[in-house]
Amino acid sequence: MAIRRGRGVAAINYPTGMNLGGDPTQALVHSTPTGNFMVTLSSVDLGQGLKQIMAQICAETIGVPTDRVIIDTADTDTGPHCMGTFASRGTHRAGNAVIQAAKEARQVMLEVAAEELEVNASDLETDGEGNILVKGAPQKSISIFDVALSAHFKRGRSISGRGMFLIPRSYPEKETGAMKPSTCYAHACTVAEVEVDDETGEVTVLTVKNIFEIGRALNPRMVEQQLVGGSWMGISHALYETTEPYYPNRDHGGTDFNQYLMPGPGDLAETEIIVLERPSADGPYGAKGPGEMCANPQIPAVANAVFDAVGVRIDTLPITPERILRALKAQSAN
Amino acid sequence: MELRKSYFADQRKDGLHEIGQGRPRLDSPGHVTGKTAYFADRNFPNMLHLKMVRSPHHHARIRSIDTSEAEKHPGVVKILTAKDVPHNVYTILILIQIGPEDETVLADGKVRWKGEAVVAVLAETERAAQEAAAKIKVDYEVLPAVFDMEEALKPGAPLVNEYHGQNYYLYDSGECRKVRFGDVEAGFAEADHILEQSYQSSPIEHAPTETTGCVVVPEGNDRFTCYTNTQAMFFTLDNASIILQMPGSKLHFVGGTVGGGFGGKVDVIVEPIAILGAKLTGRPVCFIYSREEEMQISSPRAAEKVVIKDGVMKDGRIVARKVTGYTDAGAYSRHSPYGAQKGAAHYPGPYTIPNVWIDTYCVYTNRTPSSAMRGFGVTIGDFALEVQMDKLARLIGMDPLEFRFINAYRDGDMKAHRQPTEGAALIECMQEASRAADWPVAEKFMAMSSYTKGA
Amino acid sequence: MAKVPVQFTLNGSEKAEFVEGGTTLLHALRDKIGDTSPKGGCHQGTCGACSVIIDGELKLSCLTLAETCGGTDIRTTSGLAEAGVLHPLQRAFLDAFATQCGFCTPGMIMAAKVLLDHTPNPSRDEVVEALSGNICRCTGYEPIIQAVLTAARANSQNAA
Amino acid sequence: MALALQTFPTVRDANAALKAAGTRYLGGGTLVVRAANEGDVLVSSLVRSTDPALSGIAVADGRARIGASVTMAAIARHPELGAIAKAARAVGGPAIRNMATVGGNLFAPAPYGDFAVTLLALDATVSTDDGELPIGDFLAKRDDNHAIVTSVSFALPKAESFRFLKVSRVKPKGVSVLSIAAALEQAGDGAVSSARIALGCMADRPMRARAAEKALIGKRLDRDGIAAALAAAGEGTSPITDPIASAWYRAEVLPVHLGRLLLT
């Protein structure tokens, strides 16, 4: 018996947003009488944390702490249209729509503040803690709480804004395929280290070192969540998962979590995540969509590491112990 | 996790108040206390349960359906067949003008995959619905089926889907989406080595812990509220509106809090039939996939076959790449024509190659229709591309990481689909990987930049 | 249809309900009593999202018939916080960013709670074993393991 | 019709009720409640018994008797059953172990039933109100069994003479690629004097590796000594194919894992 070790690398990119564009998202933002901000959307949070990110984007744009933003999403009677949560588009598309809506609301807010402070709106800035200050004379200020009260009950202004983000649809040229699939791309490079049992074909992923370039980490803790979970799913795709283990034969498809294989908590690779940020030109605060691509580079990195370990190529996913063992037997037969 | 701020610092504005902060998630307290409300956490009096009778055959003609015994079963309230669905033949991407309509909500005369929905049973309890479903008699004439993409594309193969007329999706560009850039044959002629390899995957399930489903409540004013875990609210609402021939103003969708999606909840499957059930009975209806349905009935990530032929020079430059991709759509389109096309846009990967030829096919077979999943159109392609890169490097005796530096795209490089590269960062990711993994590469690669060719 | 009475204690309060024969505890809790913290992820016993604690033992409420629970003491995640103050495990899950979609979370917390009740200072392997019947598709498990280890450390510091 | 559950204080009464069509015995629920949840409408009625004899563990004179309702968790933590605790812990995750019973495990189809593999290696006796059966005979006829299993009994092995291995794709919990239980007695010189080896997933139910057992007698547990046993390990097997592994793979790795177990 021999446990043989190998490592492999893979580098990838991934488009942000629906392929070829044409996928709009809208947002509405308005202030409550006491200067809290309601973001109304129909975007869906699948667990990746869209609600939290939209709150942070709105807060940054308006100039209030995040806990003064309320997200009201995914009720079609109130929320304006969103194409949906898929194609790494949530943060990018909805985030841009929220920024546009929040900017419009912020402008009204600054105009009301300007009237209260008797200055020009263009001379005002926010401190991010809920106050509006005169640039260069911060002692002259008013709280957003008071501005909202004034807007509502004194000046009759609606502190609100509308946002819409659309990448115009691109149509591929029939003969050449000339097209504009996406406006920005995330990047990744993964190095995986594995051990392969050459008598059973079993693979243990020892370490994965993942470098992700994601535009901008709007909330680094949540980015980490996505990337760690994605890295796990990438390894899972590489070695475990399929609904048809004997494809294209349709028999023996798994019907539960015992039969549908994924790495358990005892199978975890030591996972390192390093994030680079090259802001995208059209992303909200430079963000791109990292949610999908983070699960891609581990698959070929693991495949290449298996080859490095035992010298057989498994070009069919998933790379099961059976496929490795068959290849090893064929190798030793030659 | 570490943020390496030294890269691209000149392009980044730091010092924001809320952006860049690891704020606690506002939804997590609800998660840890069990208070977060998912669609199925709403319970309504008099709710009916919908269970589906499904095809036991991969491909068959339906001679007859006999629901008479099931209708008499205690607790059964309504049984739905194809004739009850106002616009039974549909396709979801019709909303973005990708047709033809090719799928039935409930099978009409024919089934094209094992597990296809044939009859919907609405009953007072899950148990009653299951018992009644077992009493429904469907008489099938089994037809030859095709499971292998290559077999499906051969002349004389059983026709999977009459709405297409052939076993592939017909793009405006023909039987596949094409990308042509440079002269790929001239590139092969010039190359020191040619390597052609084939890669294969099988279907993969999203496996969210919460299965697909919805609860529909008649509001008493001819409107219907649908609590759903769809990933796309209006996409689902608008498709339901088409299928039910019901104005969108009559539909009210509530969702947005979903127990995992990964692309598995963007088909429009449970909502239309549940709304129809609620409309015809006047009662709340829930239709929630069992785990078995989630595993074998809901769309998986497609199986794909990718054939890559490369021409490479001894010095490491890839001078020609030809990719032929096949996406196994199963019996119906759903999102697959889009996914195959996304693959065409993605190849030849993040590398600058002067001569490129890409064909991507969307192929129909008699299996569970596939659809979107995390990395749609790209994940399996990246597996193929990056294993191929490893093979090429070893073929010419070069370090696999250095080989990628030589070919990596940089700002301004023209991509095969004729867009100039912007915002590239592959080189910097690889430089950081070299450091983090203690995988040394030549100094000239560590000095490269994505910004320009020369730098 | 014949209904059967069931009576048990849920998170410290007495509950009495009539359920249809064959009703699982999961359905009784969610549909009858209104405690929706246990989730129905598979109804097969393979995902752990419905985990509850019955008389101190971790059980799957989807495979337990409600009528077999007469007189038992049942604990669920919804009853863990006391007077609005989160249990250390709940706090640790928040701090470790150990929830994404949140659907597996109540079951995970139940599994972790029984572990810490019996093994206040578990090793990593013991945590892994304790969570091994619970599926998470979002996190890759590591943040959850870290949350449980952190909660254990917090507990032992409080006890010291 | 709702699923009806009848509870009886004695096994005798429960056995009588079990004779009705569509009736199944409810143990820990991991098999039968799952079947009902999944829409198995052939089950219309469940029977259980609260007979205390079903939940007892008795160890005396080197023999153990375990009631059929005893859970895997109860076995795993019982101080006198330490030799077989590993096999009980190999079943499911913690919640499943708190529910799954010894009786139920005897009926679990492959790839489940790892504890039954252990009982087969221990040459257990299965008791019902109809009498006692050697476990091999019981397993062979289990599909026709209609009497409630009340207990299993066996001679407790010494810790060092019982070995158990479960191979899973998913760790720490996952269903079996295969499982192996071996009860081996060795003479003073290390030569094997008696051997019982049971295999899981090598057929639709646990089976004995009799050819391998025979090949081990008189041999030492070293690489040369076990070679003949490994060569014979697959004799008479017909491994299952399922989503976890194919019959081919199971057959290929059986001697590898058996070898590793014997050399530990």
pTM for this structure?
Answer: 0.98
The second-level CATH assignment, the architecture, of A3-16+183-333 is 2-Layer Sandwich (3.30)
φ/ψ (deg, to 5) at B216: -115, 135
Pairing of strands B60-66, B110-111: antiparallel
Mean pLDDT of A308-333: 97
CB contact under 8 A, D243 and A252: yes
Question: Residue C90's CB: how many other CB atoms inside 10 A?
Answer: 26
User: Does residue B133 register a pLDDT over 80?
Assistant: yes
The CATH class of D52-155 is alpha beta
Residues of C with CB under 8 A from a CB of B: 20, 22, 30-31, 34-44, 46-47, 49, 76-78, 80-81, 86, 89-90, 93-94, 97, 99-106, 109, 135-138
C18 CA: distance to closest CA in chain A (Å)? 31
pLDDT computed for residue C159 by the predictor: 65
Mean pLDDT on D216-222: 97
String of DSSP letters for B204-269: B----SSPSEEEEEE-SSS-EEEEE--S-HHHHHHHHHHHHT--GGGEEEE--B-S--TTTT-S--
Residue C154: per-residue pLDDT: 87
Confidence check on the interface: ipTM exceeds 0.90, yes or no: yes
The phi, psi pair for A141, rounded to 5°, reads: -150, 165
| Whole-number Å distance between alpha carbons of A226 and A217 | 11
Phi-psi region of A238 (alpha: psi -120 to 50; beta: other; left: phi over 0): alpha
Asked whether residue B365 falls in the same domain as residue B246, the answer is: no
What CA–CA distance (Å, rounded) separates B65 from B79? 11
When divided into structural domains, chain B yields a total of: 2
| Inter-chain CB proximity B291 and C47 less than 8 Å | yes
Contacts of D175 in chain A (CB under 8 A): 258-259
Cβ atoms of residues A33 and A112 within 8 Å: no
Q: Kindly report, residue by residue over A168-194, the tens digit of the pLDDT.
A: 999 999 999 999 999 999 999 999 999
Interface test with A, best of C105, C137, C146, C149 (most A CBs within 10 A): C137
**CB–CB of A259 and D252 under 8 A?**
no
Q: How far apart are CA B309 and CA B83, in angstroms?
A: 50
Q: Is residue B153 part of a domain?
A: no
The 10s digit of each residue's pLDDT in B141-165 is 999 999 999 999 999 999 999 999 9
Strands B251-254 and B224-228: what pairing?
parallel
**Torsion sign over Cα D70, D73, D78, D82:** positive
**Domain boundary residue among B296, B326, B355?**
B296
CA torsion sign for B396, B377, B151, B167 is: negative
Beta bridge partners of residue D133, listed in sequence order: D126
Res C28: pLDDT:
98
* Chain C contact present for A219, CB below 8 A: no
pLDDT tens digits along B219-242: 999 999 999 999 999 999 999 999
Q: Are B376 and A184 an interchain contact pair (Cβ–Cβ within 8 Å)?
A: no
**pLDDT, chain D, mean:** 96
**Residues forming beta bridges with residue A272, ordered by sequence position:** A209
Distance of alpha carbon A62 from alpha carbon A70, whole angstroms:
13
Q: Where are the domains positioned within chain A?
A: 3-16+183-333, 25-165
Tokens of B173: 């560009």
- Provide, as residue numbers in chain A, all residues whose Cβ is less than 8 Å from the Cβ of B417: 172, 177-181
Which residues on A lie below 8 Å from C144 (Cβ)? 265
**Same domain, yes or no: B138 and B213:** yes
Q: Is residue B41 part of a domain?
A: no
Name the residue facing B390 among A8, A222, A254 (closest C-beta): A8
Are D39 and B51 inside 8 Å of each other by CB? Answer: yes
Asked if residue B350 and residue B336 are part of one domain, the reply reads yes
Of B7-16, B99-108, B110-119, D67-76, minimum mean pLDDT range: B7-16
Does residue C123 belong to the interface with chain D, where contact is any CB pair within 8 Å? no
**Residue C141 phi/psi, 5° resolution?**
70, -35
CA distance D83 to D89: 12
Q: Determine the Cα–Cα distance for residues B127 and D37; give it in Å rounded to an integer.
A: 8
Domain range holding B353? 177-204+300-407
Interface membership of A266 toward D (CB under 8 Å): yes
Distance of alpha carbon A307 from alpha carbon A310, whole angstroms: 5
| A103 CB-contact burial (10 Å; exposed 0-12 / middle 13-18 / buried 19+) | middle
Q: Is the pLDDT of residue B332 over 80?
A: yes
D12 touches A at CB < 8 Å: no
Question: Which of D41, D44, D246 to mutate against chain B (most B CBs within 10 Å)?
Answer: D41
Q: What is the mean pLDDT of residues B432-441?
A: 98
> What pLDDT digit, counting tens, does each position of A106-150 carry?
999 999 999 999 999 999 999 999 999 999 999 999 999 999 999
For the cut 80, the answer to whether the pLDDT of residue C160 exceeds it is no
Q: Does residue B34 lie within any of the structural domains?
A: no
Largest CA distance in chain C: 56
Contact across the interface for A325 and D169, Cβ inside 8 Å: no
What single letter denotes the amino acid at residue B68? S
Distance from CA of C39 to the nearest CA of A (A): 15
- Closest Cα partner for A192 from A175, A210, A219, A178? A210
Q: What does the pLDDT read at residue D1?
A: 74
B128 with B213, same domain: the answer is yes
Least Cα separation, residue A1 to chain D (angstroms): 9
Contacts A278 to B, Cβ<8 Å? 7-8, 11-12, 423, 425, 428, 450
Are residues B187 and B257 part of one domain?
no
Beta strands in chain D, from DSSP E residues, in sequence order: 4-8, 23-25, 45-49, 57-60, 63-67, 125-128, 131-134, 149-155, 162-168, 176-186, 192-200, 207-208
Minimal Cα–Cα distance from B349 to chain A, Å?
Answer: 7
Nearest-CA distance A235 → chain C (Å)? 10
Contact partners, residue D33, CB within 8 Å, separation at least 6: C24, C62, C63, C64, C65, D26
Domain match, B314 and B259 both: no
pLDDT of A1 > 70? The answer is no
What φ, ψ does residue B387 adopt, rounded to 5°? -75, -40
Distance from CA of B385 to the nearest CA of D (A): 27
Closest-CA residue to C78 (of C48, C50, C99, C101): C50
For chain C, which chains pass the contact test of at least 3 CB pairs under 8 Å? A, B, D
Residues 6+ apart with CB under 8 A from B352: B407, B408, B409, B410, B413, B414, B415, B421
Whether residues B260 and B311 fall in one domain: no
More confident residue, D1 or A239: A239
Tell me if B21 and A56 make a contact (CB, 8 A cut-off).
yes
Domain boundaries, chain D: 4-49, 52-155, 159-263
Report helix, strand and coil shares of chain B as percent, to nearest 5.
30, 25, 45
Whether residues B131 and D2 touch (CB distance < 8 A) is answered with: no
The partner residue sitting opposite A274, judged by closest CB among B4, B234, B400, is: B4
Given pLDDT bands bounded at 50, 70 and 90, which one contains residue B455? very low
Does some domain include residue B109?
A: yes
For residue B311, what is the domain's CATH number?
3.30.365.10
- Give the separation between CA C48 and CA C41, rounded to whole angstroms: 8
- Interface check C62 vs A, CB under 8 A: no
Label the pairing between strands B304-312 and B318-330.
Answer: antiparallel
Cβ(B325)–Cβ(B359) below 8 Å? yes
Q: What is the distance between the alpha carbons of residues B214 and B118, in angstroms, rounded to a whole number?
A: 19
Q: Which two tokens stand for residue B159?
A: 């026709």
| Residue B154 placed within a domain | no
Contacts of D98 in chain C (CB under 8 A): 57-59
Closest CA to C53 of C36, C72, C67: C72
C32-38: which pairs have CB atoms within 8 A and are 24 or more residues apart? C34/B43, C35/B34, C35/C10, C35/C11, C35/C76, C35/C78, C35/C79, C36/B34, C36/B37, C36/B41, C36/B43, C36/C78, C37/B33, C37/B34, C37/B35, C37/C76, C37/C77, C37/C78, C37/C106, C38/B34, C38/C76, C38/C77, C38/C106, C38/C107
Which fold is adopted by the domain C88-159? Answer: DNA polymerase; domain 1 (1.10.150)
- Tokens representing B255 are 């969702």
Q: Which residues pair with C59 in a beta bridge?
A: C52
CB B34 within 8 A of CB C77: yes
Q: For residue D174, give how far its alpha carbon lies from the nearest alpha carbon of chain A (Å).
A: 6
CB-CB neighbors (< 8 A) of A257 in chain C: 42, 44, 46-47, 135
Per DSSP, B343 falls in state: H
CATH class of the D159-263 domain in this structure: alpha beta
Domain C3-79 architecture? Roll (3.10)
Q: Which of A46, A221, A229 sits opposite C139 (nearest CB)?
A: A229
Residues B213, B288: one domain?
yes
C140:A221 CB<8 A: no
B339 and B398 part of one domain: yes
Chain D adjacent subunits, 3+ CB pairs under 8 A: A, B, C
Domain annotation covers residue B286 = yes
Q: Chain C contacts of D36, Cβ < 8 Å?
A: 22
**Which residues does chain D have within 8 Å of residue A246's beta carbon, measured at their own beta carbons?**
241, 246
Say yes or no: A42 contacts chain C, CB-CB below 8 A: no
Q: In angstroms, what CA-CA distances link D38 with A281, B131, C42?
A: 51, 11, 9
pLDDT tens digits along D49-88: 999 999 999 999 999 999 999 999 999 999 999 999 999 9
Residue B453 has pLDDT above 80, yes or no: no
CATH 3.40.50.2300 assigned to domain A25-165? The reply is: no
Contact of A261 with chain C, judged by CB distance below 8 Å, is answered with no
- Angle at the Cα of B442 from the Cα atoms of B440 and B446, rounded to 5 degrees: 85
Among candidates B306, B402, B408, which has minimal Cα distance to B352? B408
Per residue in B64-101, is it b (16+ CB within 10 Å) or e — as a string? ebebeebeebebbbbbbbbebbeebebbbbbeeebeeb
Other CB atoms within 10 Å distance of the CB of residue A119:
16
Beta carbons within 8 Å of B93's beta carbon, 6+ residues apart? B99, B333, B334, B335, B337, B338
For A28-67, the pLDDT digits (tens) are: 999 999 999 999 999 999 999 999 999 999 999 999 999 9
Residue A114 distance to chain B (closest CA, Å): 23
Q: Is the same domain home to B231 and B379?
A: no
Same domain? For B363 and B246 the reply is no
For residue B171, tell me if it sits in a domain. Answer: no
B81 and B129: one domain?
yes
Residue C157, pLDDT > 90, answer no
